[in-house]
Amino acid sequence: MSSVPLSSSELLENLREARQIELALFTDLGDDQLLGPKAHSLEPPIWEVGHVGWFQEYWLLRHLDGAKPILERGDSIYDSVNVSYKQRWDHDFPSREETLSYLRTVLDRCAGRLEGKEPSEEEAYFYRHVTQHEYMHSENLTMVRQTLGYRRPSLPNVQSDGIEIDTAFKPHDVELPASRFFLGAPREEPFVFDNEKWAHEVEIAPFRIAATPVTNADFVKFVEDAGYTTRRYWSKSGWEWRRREGAEHPLFWRREGEGRWLSSCFDEVLPLDPWHPVIHVNRHEAKAYCTWAGRRLPTEAEWEVAASGTDKLRYPWGNSPPTPELANLDYRHMGPVDVRAFPAGDSPFGCRQMIGNVWEWTDSRLQPYPGFVPDPYEEYSQPYFGQKPVLRGGGWTTRSGLIRNTWRNFFIQHRRNIVAGFRTCALRSS
């Protein structure tokens, strides 16, 4: 574990704020939406919120204090390690009121156990861990709402006014020299997950990477050039996926008339903005686009050095926390924004929006860093090594308290409903 203790008030403020967002994503759902249809890559909203309460209870009350379970059947419903995705609709769930009461009880007890004392290093670690876990599940609950076409959620701190667009910005590649780079989190980081540990030297050959993610306008060209039906653009597994799913364009797109594209955003259908990043595409689609365009995905080492610079910054813009002027995070704009926005958040090499807006697929699969040792939640990373591709950077749904340049997300490569896009690199010279 690596954790610099925060004060009790800071830990609890973060914990309560994470719960505020989670509840805002849940409480306005109708009774007929709490379970939702049984579908691959989704979870029932009623399970989602119950799970974050259970996870908090498990690590802060049961693990730290040896307390007895609050819910008699909680482990058999909410333990994600032992309850498979396919089983998550098959329970006699507590009612909405019972679920919300359970969440309040857990949060109150977790707050009460820190009253009148400062946390130990171990306690600070687990309070941070469950808070960041809840951040991740808020993203997941948002994906459920988007996929099922539920109404746009109403969240605090949404910014309704416009953002400044750098209209003089032109898409281009950024050249990075060969370097020896320390990939991963430095040991002085206050909190990181086990798959970020620890920074280790890697050699990176010179490369060229796009200054921004691929836009809708870019991806429309691929779609309209028969990109989805031309076999040579797709890997074997990608082509099998495309044929099985019958995919002809990104998941939430639809064509209206000649050359007019729309996209579903929760329960609304909106014109496709050409300058927004393409979103809700899987890694198969990203790699097919790259082949069509004569490009490639970056490795995660290339992505991280492009974001961090050779001085190993915590964020592209430096070491200060994210603000609304630097990145599209925290649901602030309730969707992706123009790739030309947020010039103040550029990385030292001039790459834009490497934090926020959309998660970015890389060409790397999740692997342990040298000397890997699992953290107490052993099932977080270890079962997925060598299997799931890595995404970097965070999206508009990502909480600013979660993301940093070293953060490694990972999903199965055919997932399309996540807030994911990609940026490309020039092909390596032979």
- The answer to whether residues 173 and 141 belong to one domain is no
What CATH number does the domain containing 323 carry?
Answer: 3.90.1580.10
The closest alpha carbon to 219, from 289, 114, 146, belongs to: 289
Residue 1 has pLDDT above 60, yes or no: no
Residue 3 has pLDDT above 60, yes or no: no
Q: What is the pLDDT of residue 160?
A: 58
Q: What is the pLDDT of residue 161?
A: 64
Strand partners, 175: 208
Q: What does the alpha-carbon distance between residue 123 and residue 127 come to, in Å, rounded to a whole number?
A: 6
The closest alpha carbon to 222, from 298, 291, 273, 296, belongs to: 291
**371 CB contacts (<8 Å, ≥6 apart)?**
197, 198
Rounded to an integer, the average pLDDT of 89-105 is 95
Task: Count the residues in the chain.
Answer: 430
Q: Are 190 and 321 in contact (CB under 8 A)?
A: no
The closest alpha carbon to 140, from 58, 48, 55, 57, belongs to: 48
Q: What is the pLDDT of residue 259?
A: 79
Residue 269 has pLDDT above 50, yes or no: yes
- The answer to whether residues 39 and 83 belong to one domain is yes
- The answer to whether residues 240 and 361 belong to one domain is yes
Query: 356: which DSSP letter?
Result: S
Mean pLDDT, the chain, rounded, equals 95
The torsion angles phi and psi of 179, rounded to 5 degrees, stand at -155, 160
The two tokens of residue 414 are: 């055919």
- The answer to whether residues 131 and 172 belong to one domain is no
**248 CB contacts (<8 Å, ≥6 apart)?**
223, 228, 229
Q: What is the pLDDT of residue 90?
A: 86
Rounded to an integer, the average pLDDT of 145-152 is 96
Rounded to an integer, the average pLDDT of 173-193 is 96
- The number of folded domains in the chain is 2
Residue 162 has pLDDT above 80, yes or no: no
Residue 5 banded pLDDT, cuts 50, 70, 90: low
Q: What is the pLDDT of residue 430?
A: 59
| HEC assignment per residue over 92-154 | CCCCHHHHHHHHHHHHHHHHHCCCCCCCCHHHHHHHHHHHHHHHHHHHHHHHHHHHCCCCCCC
Rounded to an integer, the average pLDDT of 95-124 is 96
The two tokens of residue 236 are: 């074997």
Q: What does the alpha-carbon distance between residue 103 and residue 94 come to, in Å, rounded to a whole number?
A: 12
Strand partners, 410: 390
pTM of the predicted model, to two decimals?
0.96
The closest alpha carbon to 44, from 149, 138, 144, 135, belongs to: 144
Q: Are 1 and 12 in contact (CB under 8 A)?
A: no
Q: What is the pLDDT of residue 369?
A: 98
Q: What is the pLDDT of residue 84?
A: 78
Q: What does the alpha-carbon distance between residue 95 and residue 31 come to, in Å, rounded to a whole number?
A: 10
Residue 162 lies in a domain: no
Portion of the chain with pLDDT greater than 70, in percent: 98
- The answer to whether residues 113 and 228 belong to one domain is no
- The answer to whether residues 284 and 225 belong to one domain is yes
Q: What does the alpha-carbon distance between residue 6 and residue 128 come to, in Å, rounded to a whole number?
A: 9
Residue 140 has pLDDT above 70, yes or no: yes
Query: 428: which DSSP letter?
Result: P
Residue 184 has pLDDT above 70, yes or no: yes
- The answer to whether residues 266 and 131 belong to one domain is no
Query: 260: which DSSP letter?
Result: -
Residue 47: cis peptide before it, omega within 30 degrees of 0:
no
Q: What is the DSSP annotation of 288-324? A: HHHHHHTEEPPPHHHHHHHHHTTTT-SBTTBSSPP-T
What CATH number does the domain containing 116 carry?
Answer: 1.20.120.450
Rounded to an integer, the average pLDDT of 375-400 is 97
Residue 1 lies in a domain: no
Rounded to an integer, the average pLDDT of 250-279 is 95
- The answer to whether residues 196 and 114 belong to one domain is no
Which range, of 81-95, 137-151, 288-302, averages the lowest pLDDT? 81-95
Residue 156 banded pLDDT, cuts 50, 70, 90: confident
Note down the domain range covering 208: 168-430
Q: What does the alpha-carbon distance between residue 158 and residue 258 come to, in Å, rounded to a whole number?
A: 35
Which of 147, 176, 208 is where one domain is finished? Answer: 147
The two tokens of residue 401 are: 């308290």
Which range, of 22-36, 74-88, 136-150, 167-181, averages the lowest pLDDT? 74-88
Per-residue pLDDT tens over the stretch 215-243: 999 999 999 999 999 999 999 999 999 99
Residue 417 has pLDDT above 90, yes or no: yes
Q: What does the alpha-carbon distance between residue 374 and residue 371 come to, in Å, rounded to a whole number?
A: 10
Residue 239 lies in a domain: yes
Residue 191 has pLDDT above 90, yes or no: yes
Per-residue pLDDT tens over the stretch 37-54: 988 778 999 999 999 999
Q: Are 233 and 404 in contact (CB under 8 A)?
A: no
Angle at 312 (CA atoms; ends 307, 317), nearest 5 degrees: 50
Rounded to an integer, the average pLDDT of 75-103 is 91
207-210, strands of its sheet edge to edge: 173-176, 207-210, 425-426, 295-296
Higher per-residue confidence, 289 vs 2: 289
Residue 203 has pLDDT above 70, yes or no: yes
Q: What does the alpha-carbon distance between residue 136 and residue 403 come to, in Å, rounded to a whole number?
A: 10
- The answer to whether residues 188 and 92 belong to one domain is no
Rounded to an integer, the average pLDDT of 21-44 is 92
Residue 88 has pLDDT above 90, yes or no: no
The two tokens of residue 379 are: 């099932």
Residue 163 lies in a domain: no
Which range, of 38-42, 47-51, 109-113, 415-419, averages the lowest pLDDT? 38-42
Q: Are 64 and 126 in contact (CB under 8 A)?
A: yes
Q: Do β-strands 200-204 and 420-421 pair in parallel, antiparallel, or remain unpaired? A: unpaired
